Amino acid sequence: MEKEQFYYDNKIVKMFLWATILWGVVGMLVGLLVALLFVFPGLLEFTGSDNAISWLSFGRLRPLHTNAVIFAFVGNGIFLGIYYSTQRLLKTRMFNDVLSRIHFWGWQAIIVAAAITLPLGLTSSKEYAELEWPIDIVVVLIWVVFAINLFGTILKRRQRHIYVAIWFYIATVITIAVLYIFNNLEMPVSAFKSYSVYSGVQDALVQWWYGHNAVAFFLTTPVLGLMYYFVPKVANRPVYSYRLSIIHFWTLIFLYIWAGPHHLLYTALPEWARNLGTVFSVMLIFPSWGGMINGLLTLRGAWDKVRENPVLKFFVVAITGYGMATFEGPMLSFKNLNAIGHYTDWIVGHVHIGALAWNGFMIAGIVYWLAEKLWKTPLYSKKLANTHFWLGTLGILFYAIPLYVAGFTQAFMWKQFNPDGTLVYGNFLETVTQVIPMYAMRAIGGTLYLTGFVLLAINIIKTAKAGSTVEDELAEAAPLKKISGKRIAGEGFHTWLERKTVLFTILTTVAILIGGLVEIVPLILVKSNIPTIESVKPYTPLELEGRDIYIREGCNNCHSQMIRPFRSEVERYGEYSKAGEFVYDFPFLWGSRRTGPDVHRIGGKYNDNWHFNHMLDPRSTSPGSIMPRYSWLIKNDMNASNLESKMEGLVGLGVPYTEEEIKGAKQALLTQAKEIENNLRQDPEFVKNYGSSNIENKEIVALIAYLQRLGTDIKANNTALK
Amino acid sequence: MLKFIKHNLESIEGVEIYPIISLVLFFLVFSTMIVFVFKLPKRRIDNLSNLPFDNDTNTKEKSDE
C-alpha cells in the first residue's frame, strides 16, 4: 500500500516539557518553603510580628504546594508523555493543532489562576479540589478539549491496534472527568465563593471517593501508560509480558470500582460475598504488583545498561517506588495500622514516596530521554544527570524515613497513658516539639531533591541550546486498509476489541460508570440515614462568617474536626464526634492531618481572650507552638456584604434558615460581635492595647464566634444523643 | 477516618446490593478477561508488544492479516 508522509508535532511536546520543568521547580520550591515553616515558624514573618503577610501563611501555601505538584508538575509531565507517545503509537499527528494549543495554554492559565487564588484564600477547602467554582468550570472545559484531541487522534490513526499505553490514557481521561465533576458540585454564592452541595458525612464520603480515585487515575494510570511506552523504548526491548499488561489494565480500572463500595460497605455484605471478597483481595496483589514486576522485568537482559544509562536508573527507582507505595496503601487500610497512620506524618511520607519516586523520577527519566530525541543531540551532561539521580534518591530517603519515624512517634505519644488513667503527653505541643528534628531532616531531603531537579533544568536548557530547532518530525506510514468491523478468522476477542477503539472506550466508560454508580448511589442516599440530633442547629450569621474565615485561612490543613472513638482521643479532646453533628457543615472540615490538635470540641474550652491572644501570637499562649501568627485578622474589617446571599445559598442546600433570620442577619451578627467584644474587654491587657479600636467589626471576632461554637451543640444537651 | 462513619451507609435499606453488584461484575469481567488473555496466540502478543518499535511502516500488520 502507498505510504503517506506526515509530521509529528514536536512543538507541543516541547511546550509541555518546559512547563513541566518550570512548574516542577515552582511546586517543589513552595513545598520546601512549607517544610521549613515547621522548623522556623517565623520564617516568613519578616514584615514584623504584628504585620504578618496573610498570603504567606502555611494554611494558604500548603494547598498551593499540593496543587502545583499534582496538577502543574505531574499534570504537564503526563501531557508531555501522552502527546509524544500517542502520535508515535498511532502513527499520526495529533488530531488538531489548535486544540493542542488550547489545551496547553488553557492548562497553564488554570495553574496561574490557582497560584493567584489559593494564596488569596479563595478555596473550597476540599483537598486537591480547592479551586473555586469559576476555575472548576475552566478545568472541565480544557479537559474536554484534551479528550476531543485524544479521541480524534485515535480515530484518525494509521495503526490498526492500540497499544496498552493508550488504554491507560483513555481510562484517565474518562474517569477524571467523572470524579472531578461529582466532587466539585457547588452552590456559588458570589464570584469566588461557593458551598459544596454535600454536607458533613456525605461530603466527606464524596471527597475521599474523589481523593482516592484521583490518586488512582491522575497520578497512577496515566503514568503507568507512560511506563508501558517509555520503559520498553529506552531499554530497547518489548514489555516483559503483554498478557500481564492487559490483566494489569482491566484489574486496575475494575479494582477501583469494586474496592470503593467494598471498603465502604464491607460489613453489609452477606457471608458468601465476604468470602469471595477476601479471596479476591489476596489475588489482587498479583496484578497490581504484576504491573511493577512487568516494568522491572522489561529490563531483563539489559541490567548492564542500567549502570550506564541514567534514564534507566530513574525508571528503576520510580517503578520500585510504585511498588512500595502500592504495598503501603493496602497495609494502611488495615484497621490497626490505619489507627496509627491516620492524622500523622506517616501519610505525608507515604504520599511522597508516590510523588517523589514514582511520579517525579518517571517524569525525570522521560524528560532526559526526550531531550535527546526532541533536540536531536546528545544530552549536555550525563554526569550531571547522574548527580541528579543520586541527589534525588538521597532526597527521597531523607524525606520519607524521618516522616515514618515522626508518624509512629506521634501516634504512640498521642495514645500513651499513665497508670492513673491520665495521658502521659496531655499537652499536644509535647508531641509536636518532639518531632521537630524529623521535620528538619525532611526539609534537608526536600532540598536535596529540589537541587537535583534544578540540575535537570540546567541540563535540559543546555541541551536545547546545543540542539536543532526543528519542531516537526517527518514520518511515513501507510493508511489503514478498510477491513471488516467483525472479527476476522483467527482473531482473538481482545485483539479485535483493541482495534475497535470506540467500542473499547465505551466499555471502559461503562466499567467505571457502573463502578461510579454503585458507589455514588449509597452516598446520595446516606443523607437521609444520618441520625439527626435535636440540639444541632445551623450556624449563626457571625459563626458562618467565622467559618468562612477558617476555610479561607486553610485551618483544616493542620487541625482536624473529627474525634475518633478511642479512649486516648476522648480523654484528650472530649466526647467523640457524631455523624449528626455535621449536617450543616457545607463543606465538611474534618481535615486529614493533625499538625495541631483536633478542634472539634474547642468551643468553650478557652475564653475569648485566649483565642484573641493565640491568633495574634500563638507562642504567647502556647510556648513552642509552630502555628503562624494571624495578625491580619485583628486589622481586617469583617466583610459581611455577601451574608444574605450565603444564607440563601445554604437554604437552597437544605439549611433551615427562616426568611426573618436572613432579613435580620446583619443585626444578629452585630449583636453577637458586640457580646464577644464585651467579653474581650474583661481583660485589662486587651483594653490597654486594643481598647480604642473597634474590634467588634474585625474578622477575629467572627472566627472566635465560630471556634467557641464548635462541638458545643451536643454538650448543651447530651440526652438528645441517647 | 471514614470507618467511623461507614455505619451510616449500612443503615440504608438494601444497600448490600451495591457492593454485590460490583463484586459480581468484577468477578465476571476478571475471569472472562483472564481466559481471553491466556487464549491469545503468542504471535499476536509479540506483534502487540512490539508496537512501540514499529516506527515507520505497518508492513508487519499486513503480513499478519
Host domain of residue B38? 17-51
**What are the structural domains of chain A?**
4-46+53-522 (1.20.210.10), 541-721 (1.10.760.10)
pLDDT for position B62: 34
Q: How far apart are CA A135 and CA A379, in angstroms?
A: 38
Looking at the complex, report in whole angstroms how far the Cα of residue B28 sits from the nearest Cα belonging to chain A: 11
DSSP-assigned states of every residue in A124-138: --STT--S-HHHHHH
| % of chain A at pLDDT higher than 70 | 95
Distance of CA A296 to the CA centre of its chain: 27
Q: How far apart are CA A604 and CA A516, in angstroms?
A: 42
What cell does A82 get? 501522552
Contact yes or no for B48 and A521 at CB 8 A: no
Banded pLDDT at B61 (limits 50, 70, 90): very low
Answer whether residue A12 shows pLDDT above 50.
yes
The amino acid at residue B7 is H
Q: Considering CB atoms only, which of A201, A266, A492 is closest to B36?
A: A492
Contact yes or no for A261 and B22 at CB 8 A: yes
Banded pLDDT at B3 (limits 50, 70, 90): low
B39 in a domain, yes or no?
yes
pLDDT in tens, A48-74: 778 889 999 999 999 999 999 999 999
pLDDT for position A338: 83
Contact yes or no for A250 and B4 at CB 8 A: no
A-contacting residues of B 22-61, CB under 8 Å?
22-23, 25-27, 29-30, 33-34, 36-41, 44-58, 61
Kindly identify which residue of chain B lies nearest to residue A161, measuring between CA atoms: B48
B47 in a domain, yes or no?
yes
Instruction: Say which range, A25-29, A268-272, A501-505, A717-721, has the weakest mean pLDDT.
Output: A717-721
Q: Which residues of B touch A338 (CB under 8 A)?
A: 3
Distance from the first to the final alpha carbon of chain A = 80
pLDDT in tens, A103-139: 999 999 999 999 999 999 999 999 999 999 999 999 9
Residue A686: partners with Cβ closer than 8 Å, 6 or more residues away: A609, A612, A680
Chain A contact for B12 (CB, 8 A cutoff): yes
pLDDT in tens, A389-444: 999 999 999 999 999 999 999 999 999 999 999 999 999 999 999 999 999 999 99
Instruction: Say which range, A95-99, A261-265, B39-43, has the weakest mean pLDDT.
Output: A261-265
Q: Considering CB atoms only, which of A267, A495, A579 is closest to B40?
A: A495
Q: What torsion do the CA atoms of A512, A517, A518, A521 make, to the nearest 10 degrees?
A: 160
B6 in a domain, yes or no?
no
B7 in a domain, yes or no?
no
Residue A424: partners with Cβ closer than 8 Å, 6 or more residues away: A413, A416, A417, A418
Looking at the complex, report in whole angstroms how far the Cα of residue A617 sits from the nearest Cα belonging to chain B: 31
B60 in a domain, yes or no?
no
B12 in a domain, yes or no?
no
Predicted ipTM?
A: 0.81
Residues A194 and A132: beta-carbon distance below 8 Å: yes
Q: How far apart are CA A645 and CA A35, in angstroms?
A: 38
B57 in a domain, yes or no?
no
- How far lies A468's CA from each of A63, A148, A288, A448, A471, in Å? 39, 31, 41, 32, 9
The total number of structural domains that make up chain B: 1
User: Which of B4, B25, B34, B40 to probe the A interface (max A CBs under 10 A)?
Assistant: B4
Mean pLDDT of chain A: 91
Distance of CA A355 to the CA centre of its chain: 11
Residue A702: partners with Cβ closer than 8 Å, 6 or more residues away: A542, A543, A545, A546, A549, A638, A673
pLDDT in tens, A553-608: 999 999 999 999 999 999 999 999 988 899 999 999 999 999 999 999 999 999 99
Banded pLDDT at A669 (limits 50, 70, 90): very high
